[in-house]
Homo-oligomer: A and B are copies of this chain.
Amino acid sequence: MQSPDTGLNLRSLVTDDGHLQLILKEAPVPEPGDDEVVVRIEATPINPSDQATLIFPADVTTGKTSGSGADTVYSAKLKAGVESRVKPRIGKPLPAGNEGAGTVVKAGSSKAAQALLGKTVAVMDGALYCQYRKVNVMQCMPLNEGTTAREAASSFVNPLTALGFVETMRAEGFKAIVHTAAASNLGQMLNRICLNDGIDLVNIVRKPEQVELLKSQGAKYVLNSSDDNFMRDLTAAIEATEAYVAFDATGGGDLGSRILTCMEKAALKDTELPGPYGSNIFKQLYIYGSLDMSPTVINRNFGFSWGINAWLLTPFIQKVGPEKTQELQKRVANELTTTFASHYSDEISLTDALQADIVAEYSKQATGKKFLINPSL
Contact = CB atoms under 8 A, between A and B. Distances in A.
Interface of A: 49, 52-53, 56, 88-89, 92, 251-252, 254, 257, 272-277, 280, 287, 290, 295-300, 303-312, 314-315
A314 to B, nearest CB: 8
Number of copies: 2
A276 B48 CA distance: 11
B305 A307 contact: no
11 contacts: A49-B276, A52-B276, A53-B276, A251-B300, A257-B295, A296-B300, A297-B297, A304-B310, A305-B312, A306-B310, A307-B309
B305 A308 contact: no
Residue among A280, A287, A296 with the most chain B CB within 10 A? A296
A49 B304 CA distance: 12
Given A295-B299, A303-B310, 17 more contacts: A49-B276, A52-B276, A52-B277, A56-B276, A88-B274, A89-B273, A252-B300, A254-B295, A277-B314, A287-B300, A295-B300, A296-B297, A298-B298, A304-B310, A305-B310, A306-B309, A307-B310
Contacts of A297: 295-298
Q: Sorted from nearest, which 3 A-B pairs have the closest CB atoms?
A: A52-B276, A296-B298, A304-B310
